[in-house]
Structure 1
Amino acid sequence: MHIAVFSQHHTNPDCPATSRHYTLLAHLARTHRITLITTNTWERLRITHHYPWIPEEVEVRAAAVSYENKMGVGKRLLSFGRYAAYAIREGLRIDKPDVIWGISTPLTAAWAAAQVARLRGVPWVFEVQDLWPAFPIAMGAVPYRWAQAELHQMEFGLYRSAQHIVTLSPDMSSYVTLIGQVKDKSWYFGEEKVTTVLNGTDLELAALATDEAVVALRQEYDLQNRRVILYAGTFGRANDIPTLLAAAEQLALNHPDVVWLFMGHGYDEPLVQAAASRCLAIRLVPPQPRHAIFAWFRLAELSIVSFLGLPVLDANSPAKLYDSLAVGTPVIVTNPGWTKELVEAHKCGWYVPASNASALATRVAEVLADPTTVLAAGRAGQQVAQQYFDRQQLAATMQNILEQSAKQL
């Protein structure tokens, strides 16, 4: 079977990114022909060169289209539009696929997949990584009502035209299913059209976080006898970085042995740099390749999964949650959605309301004061990861969805 994959943001384990689709594509390529239509944005950002840029046996068409988290709205739209145009052109040039897999974000990547599917008369599967356009609208990036309405019409049309819809969290699935049920009869679709395939994590990479690797990190970064709190991810507008910095500075007043590591890059990086220069308890760590990130999570006693207190962000499926639990490091989450339910149900983490620095500092202090509970939470999280988060198992689920969708048009 020939599967065409439309994804603007391809990464591999040498990149400072989650690389979900690298694992899924590698799995699919064992038994199917795969053509990936993407960009070379992340290729130049590789930190190491331990892995092939594209999984073996995957064909690739890559546009020279730039993108970065610091871009303003205008530059982002230009980037999205350039990729969509390229993806449609290449999608019409490649051998006819049996099924198309369109991945947002951005929504325009999935739109391009839908157009090629329509023109070539093949089914397509829509993977919803973030709730677009609900997310950019909530963040104020789309201030005009007419533009919001147009984007929602595009979103609803994609849900309707897709043979199947895949989301990365149960809350995303609920959101999409509700839309299918509240629209008029011409739009209707039921919950059987929507499947949750969690973001997940790479357990074989998590196994690289050995005792020796952790000891080496402590020595290299002078972290002996320090209790580490880790935030690893994008310093984006939605990640509530100012609250984390304020909590770190408050905690430092009474807990001089605690150090907060901020690993990543993005819009709020200057804020992190400024805080690190005035507070010894805050350190900015350069982005790390995915295959190395797990040792950092294991080094930490606790990791933070933070977002602004916007309802649309409650549905997120953050990679840092899965990666942290995979190595036995419990998490603090700041959104009252499915992640709160997960960590409380499995006793592998704690919830603190978003944008409340004092509450976060207090909770971290309480957790660190009870090492036995921290260890128990870590063990519980690791069990959850092994049972539900293995990307090899998730890849098999995705393969089944694509195979069944190809048969149904």
Structure 2
Amino acid sequence: MHILFISDNFPPEVNAPASRTFEHCREWVRAGCRVTVVTCAPNFPRGRVFEGYKNRLWQREDISGIQVVRVWTYITANEGFTRRILDYLSFMFSAVIASCFVRRVDVVVGTSPQFFAAFAAYVAAAMKRVPWVFELRDIWPESIRAVGAMKESRVLDWLEKVEMFLYRKAAAIVSVTHAFRDTLIRRGVDAGKIHVVTNGVDTDRFSPLPKDAALVEQLGLAGKFVGGYIGTHGMAHALDTLLDAAEIISKEPGGDRYRFLLLGDGANKKALMERATKEGLSNVVFVDSVPKDEVVRYWSALDVAIIHLKRTELFTTVIPSKLFECMGMAIPVLHGVAGESADIVAREEVGLAFEPENPAALCEGMRRLSRDQALYDRFRGNGPQAAKRYDRSVLAHEMLDIISGVVVR
């Protein structure tokens, strides 16, 4: 079976869509499938092409047996709604054109967010007269409303009509959460074609590690209790909450014991750094994005991982993929996301949930986990065992079964 996968994120980018797509495609190749990924030159989130790549009309490479076709796009940083839409549209057109040159395809998969990549998959599949599968990672454009990136307008109404069109036309929809599936069913999408394959973790890469002593010393974290956020610094993540918590805890007796580490890039990073400097938050350490192979070193430097999203109803339906990476590395989490993912934290006993955008609650979680060694050790011990239930290779084969099912109908 030849799978054509269309995604505008792929390694060496290190965000969740890139990791999930690569790890699934790698497993499908190992299972004997031929896999071609159409993507763009790696540039997320800074909007600058990674070293060693160029933004050309067409580039090919082989990554772990996956045939990767990179196409030209209008590249911009992950900020500014109009420019991002131009980025998305340019990828859609380039991906459709590139797909014409990928021969003998049996099925096309398109992934969101943004659903212009999914629309490209629909068009490519229609041209090739093969089924297509919609991998639903986000309810988009509803998430635009949720973070306030765009005011209510006819454009958003039109995008929602396109969204519903894609749901109807897909041979199968693979949702990353049960809540997304329930939402689609309420909106009238055929329940029989909606499947759930959650995010997971590559347990070979994300496993317990001792603290990297050299890195801890380099970052000035020796002897400190470190709470860290690793990921995109965007509007959806409301990371000012972490700075608020850093300010609160720094003024408490013994507050110098705590440090907050923020690693990554995104639309709000500059503003966060400027605020920390202006307010003299010396207990906050900022680190730029690092290569994928380096990320685990920084995870190892953390005592607890902070997972956080803006407080909005939509985000109660998401499950941040970094939760499973923390499980694999035996790092207890402070989970500032309500809903389905908080239920996983409680059920698996891998950390404490706190109310999103509540810095006092975040501080309380930091204090509790730093003082209650028995509780901390229990969360650490539960993590790797829980991670086995979300092993990426197992989940990849579940998705492959779904894809195979639409091909043989």
Q: Secondary structure at the match of 2:125?
A: helix
Asked if 1:232 corresponds to 2:225, the answer is no
Give the match for residue 252 of structure 1. Answer: 250
Q: Is the 8 A contact 2:226 2:304 kept in 1?
A: yes
Query: How far does residue 250 in structure 1 lie from its aligned partner after superposition?
Result: 0.8
Give the match for residue 65 of structure 1. Answer: 73
Q: Is the 8 A contact 2:72 2:94 kept in 1?
A: no
Q: Is the 8 A contact 2:76 2:87 kept in 1?
A: no
Q: Secondary structure at the match of 1:100?
A: strand
Give the match for residue 42 of structure 1. Answer: 43
Asked if 1:164 corresponds to 2:164, the answer is no
Q: Is the 8 A contact 1:69 1:236 kept in 2?
A: no
For residues 262 and 376 of structure 2, the distance between their equivalents in structure 1, rounded to whole angstroms, comes to 21
Q: Is the 8 A contact 2:37 2:69 kept in 1?
A: yes
Query: How far does residue 363 in structure 1 lie from its aligned partner after superposition?
Result: 2.5
Give the match for residue 183 of structure 1. Answer: none
For residues 231 and 78 of structure 2, the distance between their equivalents in structure 1, rounded to whole angstroms, comes to 14
Give the match for residue 264 of structure 1. Answer: 264
The runs of 5 or more residues in structure 1 that have no matched partner are 181-187
Query: How far does residue 66 in structure 1 lie from its aligned partner after superposition?
Result: 4.6
Q: Is the 8 A contact 1:242 1:271 kept in 2?
A: no
| C-alpha RMSD of matched pairs (Å) | 2.1
Give the stretch that moved more between structures: 225-234 or 194-203.
194-203
Give the match for residue 23 of structure 1. Answer: 23
Question: What percent identity do the matched residue pairs reach?
Answer: 24
Q: Is the 8 A contact 2:15 2:232 kept in 1?
A: no
Give the stretch that moved more between structures: 100-109 or 316-325.
316-325
Of the candidates 299, 303, 308, which is equivalent to residue 297 of structure 1? Answer: 299
Task: In structure 2, give the amino acid aligned to 1:200.
Answer: G
Give the match for residue 189 of structure 1. Answer: 190
Give the match for residue 210 of structure 1. Answer: 209
Q: Is the 8 A contact 1:298 1:328 kept in 2?
A: no
For residues 380 and 120 of structure 1, the distance between their equivalents in structure 2, rounded to whole angstroms, comes to 47
Q: Is the 8 A contact 2:276 2:284 kept in 1?
A: yes
Task: In structure 2, give the amino acid aligned to 1:241.
Answer: L
Give the stretch that moved more between structures: 271-280 or 170-179.
271-280
Give the match for residue 221 of structure 2. Answer: 223
Q: Secondary structure at the match of 1:204?
A: coil
CA offsets per residue over residues 179-212 of structure 1, 9 Å max, x none?
23xxxxxxx512x3112212212111113x532x
Task: In structure 1, give the amino acid aligned to 2:159.
Answer: L
Query: How far does residue 110 in structure 1 lie from its aligned partner after superposition?
Result: 0.2
For residues 67 and 260 of structure 1, the distance between their equivalents in structure 2, rounded to whole angstroms, comes to 32
Alignment TM-score, normalising by the size of structure 2: 0.90
Alignment TM-score, normalising by the size of structure 1: 0.90
Give the match for residue 344 of structure 1. Answer: 346
For residues 94 and 75 of structure 2, the distance between their equivalents in structure 1, rounded to whole angstroms, comes to 15
The runs of 5 or more residues in structure 2 that have no matched partner are 53-59
CA offsets per residue over residues 78-108 of structure 1, 9 Å max, x none?
1111111111112233214111111112111
Give the match for residue 11 of structure 2. Answer: 11
Alignment of 1:296-315 (within 5 A): 296-315=298-317
Alignment of 1:135-150 (within 5 A): 135-150=143-158
Task: In structure 2, give the amino acid aligned to 1:38.
Answer: T
Query: How far does residue 9 in structure 1 lie from its aligned partner after superposition?
Result: 1.3
Give the match for residue 57 of structure 2. Answer: none
Give the match for residue 396 of structure 1. Answer: 397
